[in-house]
């Protein structure tokens, strides 16, 4: 166990959650996916210049929704999402970095499950929206290969589907690969 993991373990013990370790808390990330009946997909706005390299929010949205449906994960409409108490949202963010006179680019790619979470603090309980599942990646390459970022987003969504299927083995109609 490294120093950071020991520090986190100490903070967990101080928090009154004895018996949990850093590794057990991280392993429990899949548990938050148990019983999910569907998710709304939201793609954070991408720099407009990405469109000239065939990277659009619309394509990422469609790719993700199709990928989820392929594995039997219900995709919620905006109206359905607003009417659920959990407000489950698969949030996708691509932060693209380019320089005017450069032929190279970089991107931060994040896929997270956001949902309503109840904080049990005194003097009152508070409900907030928080990320309960997270995966991310960094990409770099030539500006003419920016469209390859779509594949990296698909890879991260694939990790979500695998974790979802592991947490909900009987409730999905997954196609085997």
pLDDT in tens, 114-173: 998 888 877 788 888 899 999 999 999 998 899 999 999 999 999 999 999 999 887 445
DSSP for residue 174:
P
- Pairing status of strand 104-119 against strand 89-98: antiparallel
* 1 occurs within a structural domain: yes
Q: Are residues 76 and 101 in the same domain?
A: yes
> What is the secondary structure of 62-81 as a DSSP string?
HHHHHHHHHTTPPBPPHHHH
Boundaries of domain holding 28: 1-33
50: domain CATH number is 3.30.160
Instruction: Give this prediction's pTM.
Output: 0.77
**Does 72 share its domain with 150?**
yes
The tens digit of pLDDT for each residue in 40-59 reads 999 999 998 888 888 999 99
Considering the domain architecture, whether residues 68 and 96 belong to the same structural domain is answered as: yes
Look up residue 80 and give its two tokens.
């359905």
Whether 53 contacts 147, CB under 8 Å: yes
């Amino acid at each position: 166990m490294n120093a950071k993991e020991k520090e986190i373990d100490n903070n967990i013990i101080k928090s009154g959650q004895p018996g949990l370790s850093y590794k057990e808390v991280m392993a429990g990330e899949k548990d938050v996916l148990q019983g999910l009946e569907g998710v709304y997909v939201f793609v954070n706005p991408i720099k407009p210049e990405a469109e000239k390299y065939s990277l659009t929010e619309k394509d990422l949205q469609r790719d993700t929704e199709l990928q989820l449906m392929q594995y039997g994960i219900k995709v919620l409409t905006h109206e359905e999402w607003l009417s659920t108490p959990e407000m489950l949202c698969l949030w996708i963010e691509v932060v693209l970095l380019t320089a005017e006179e450069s032929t190279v680019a970089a991107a931060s790619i994040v896929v997270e499950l956001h949902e309503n979470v109840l904080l049990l603090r005194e003097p009152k309980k508070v409900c907030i929206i928080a990320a309960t599942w997270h995966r991310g990646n960094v990409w770099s390459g030539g500006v003419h290969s920016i469209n390859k970022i779509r594949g990296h987003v698909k890879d991260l969504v694939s990790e979500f589907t695998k974790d979802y299927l592991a947490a909900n083995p009987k409730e999905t109609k997954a196609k085997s690969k």
